[in-house]
Amino acid sequence: MTTRNDLRFKLLTLMLVVCASTPAFAAQWADGNQPVVNVADYYPLQEKNSWTYQEREFRADGRIFYRLRTQTVKGEARLDGQIRAKKLVDDTGAYYLVSVDQQHLVIYGHNAGYGDVTYNPPFTFLNVTYEPGKVYRVPHAPSKGKPVFSEATYYGFESVEVPAGAFKDCLKVTFRFERPSGTTHSITSFLAKGVGVVKEIHEIYSPIANQTLRVERELLHGTVDGKKIGGDAAQTVKIAEYFPFHQGDKWTYDWEFRLPNGTVKRFERTRRFEGTKFFDAGAAFKLVDDTGEEYQYYMLDRRTGLRIVSSHERGMRAQGVEFNYDPPMLLGRDDLVLGREYKYSQDLGKYFVHFTTILDGFQPVTTPMGRFEKCLRVCVNWETGTNSVRSTYYMARGVGIVAYDYENFNKRTRQLAIASHGELKEALISGHRVTLAKEAADLWDRMVAELRAAEEDPEARRIFKEASLNRYVWDKDLGFRGFEADFTISIDGGEPLQGHMRCDPNLKITVDLPDPKARVLAHTEWSQFVTHRQPRKPFDDWYGPDKAKFKLGKKRPEGQEIYVEGDAMGSSYIVADKMIKYLSRNIGRFDFTIHNKKSFLVEDGRYIATEYGVTYYKKGTKQVVGKDEFVDEYVKKGPYWVPKGRLHLSTMPGQPARVEMKITRLEYLK
């Protein structure tokens, strides 16, 4: 039975809870006196101020996409001949037109690469005269497009902690705008005094998909009025500097295995980059050991980072097992914050494998080469239904993996299943032989300086860039949706096998064929088609002046020779008629040349190669190892040219002599 005293006690408790949960700033408005806040102090927009953030995009499929985003104040614009708005420019070139005064933060418009779009009236993102917690709704007429509504809510002060540090008493505001379609975009921002925006949470709702996309943005570091925010130490690293990626590079290790019975087996192991293979995301480099029986496929990309796509292992550790990682095993990416866990999973049908990647800081490492200072420690751990695995890579700048630890435990018995350890004893990096750690201390800087000092012919760069951009790709701006197709594949004259494939909008390929061998071959052929047509990355991402230098060679009957210095595969080209006619490269112990024999031009003048051959030679000789010949067919379907068929002839050891694939039906995804 509840007494009156019980009710009084519960009411008092409720009042205490409510009071305790009321924001601290609310008391400052209780008597009608508003605290003095100068918004300009909370968003300093002086020229060259910049902020670097890490974004986490939480996707509907459960994956988290990470990227860095930098915003810099660069110049200003005059609106209506009077209003001055600062340009807040991000690393893609897009910008917002922003102004700030003592009471307001106002957004006048933006430019995402298609011209300025302004709003009448402008968006009032923050107004400290607003009643705290109250929603202020305003209609706006954009200079392009349909009217929108905005809602702004000012909450007062809240403290937050981000990688750049802990920031007390940040201004907190939520800004939301709504389109006629029902799509809404809500932004909750935290602005620290003397710093600017230190954290944002974006929530974008699509009524068509009935899904909300969430993006969190946290400050890593910045520069405000010449002062560094977040300290001098970088919160991220450029992973390419810690993992050289050149065909022919090799590393020799002292390696050991520890077995459950205590037995230790030691041997020398050499691993080198030698060859490539096409996967869903493009071409991967093959890192193979000196027996040729154990190898891994690595991919290194500015956006997606350093990843292992597949590995094939024999002997003591795996007894001839091939592992395919989907998504690929992540070893590092430029936007990974040091010390933070990044989790992802692979669905193997019967069970999931759960991965965790951590860039775990820096430490010195001693190997037979000596002491490597400040090695990046990368921990990749994963769990299966029965085993727990810990894998640690120690990477030296400019050298790569100088030490490695692997431990595999049985989860039920907690007993060690197997362990391995490797220490680097010598390396060959981009032609530099390194036998002592002290020789490697400045290797990366020396290689960068060598490339910087290398001479370049601007005409060679122009010719190559023109030909590179003239290759036909599936342009993003046409709204590539992906496709599915039915096809037949015939191997060495055998009966045609019926198959089905799907290419998602993100270019992930799945192939359905009952025969495992045919399925692997079909996946490889489809991956080549998709890789050659995938939307290109910006030219300078691959061939910027800090990555490659171009030189003119001889003028041949087939076209103009062009040599590339700094390229990961030691490439040279012959270019004619804005097309690459010949491509020569090195893949470790082998060289190869691609000859584009036939092409056709699409409507806008770009070209698609339809008949080309690849000849492989022993390195530095003209001794032919084998050949591949391709004859491709394409057909125009809707906005895109898509594959219709392929004939692949090969004399390479271990490969089918003839693979013929015909596409019988292809439809774009809805």
Lowest mean pLDDT, pick from 50-64, 131-145, 239-253, 402-416: 50-64
Phi, psi values for residue 262, rounded to 5°: 95, -5
Closest by CA to 329, choosing from 350, 313, 344, is 344
Q: Is residue 5 part of a domain?
A: no
Identify the residue with better confidence: 486 or 24: 486
Residues 6 or more apart whose Cβ sits within 8 Å of residue 80: none
CA distances from 137 to 40, 134, 144, 186 (A): 23, 10, 21, 13
Identify the residue with better confidence: 352 or 38: 38
Among 229, 249, 270, identify where a domain stops: 229
User: Could you report the per-residue pLDDT of 306-336, keeping only the tens digit for each?
Assistant: 999 999 876 554 455 678 888 899 999 988 8
Among 451, 481, 515, identify where a domain stops: 451
Confidence of residue 281 (pLDDT cuts 50, 70, 90): low
Q: What is the pTM of this model?
A: 0.67
Confidence of residue 2 (pLDDT cuts 50, 70, 90): very low
Phi, psi values for residue 416, rounded to 5°: -70, 125
User: What element of type H or E holds 377?
Assistant: strand 370-383
Number of compact structural domains in the chain:
3
Residue 10 is predicted with a pLDDT of 33
The arithmetic mean of pLDDT across residues 17-23, rounded, is 33
- Is 47's pLDDT higher than 90? yes
Confidence of residue 15 (pLDDT cuts 50, 70, 90): very low
Q: For residue 166, give its domain range.
A: 39-229
Q: 352 and 494 share a domain?
A: no
Give the Cα separation of 650 and 631 in Å (integer): 12
Give the Cα separation of 295 and 274 in Å (integer): 10
- Is 451's pLDDT higher than 50? yes
Q: 246 and 388 share a domain?
A: yes
Among 166, 201, 229, identify where a domain stops: 229
> On the CB side of 178, how many CA atoms lie within 13 Å of its CA?
10
Lowest mean pLDDT, pick from 20-29, 96-105, 409-418: 20-29
Q: 471 and 605 share a domain?
A: yes
- Is 16's pLDDT higher than 70? no
The arithmetic mean of pLDDT across residues 219-247, rounded, is 84
Contact assessment for residue 585 and residue 470, using Cβ atoms and an 8 Å cutoff: no
- Is 22's pLDDT higher than 70? no
Identify the residue with better confidence: 580 or 10: 580
Residues 6 or more apart whose Cβ sits within 8 Å of residue 453: none
- Is 362's pLDDT higher than 60? yes
For 352, other C-beta atoms within 10 Å of its C-beta total: 13
Q: What is the DSSP letter of 538?
A: P
Q: 127 and 198 share a domain?
A: yes
Closest by CA to 173, choosing from 206, 133, 221, 121, is 133
Contact assessment for residue 615 and residue 606, using Cβ atoms and an 8 Å cutoff: no
Q: 160 and 220 share a domain?
A: yes
- Is 291's pLDDT higher than 90? no
Q: What is the 3-state secondary structure (H, E, C) of 236-269?
A: CCCHHHHCCCCCCCEEEEEEEEECCCCCEEEEEE
Phi, psi values for residue 622, rounded to 5°: -105, 20
Confidence of residue 56 (pLDDT cuts 50, 70, 90): confident
Q: Is residue 6 part of a domain?
A: no
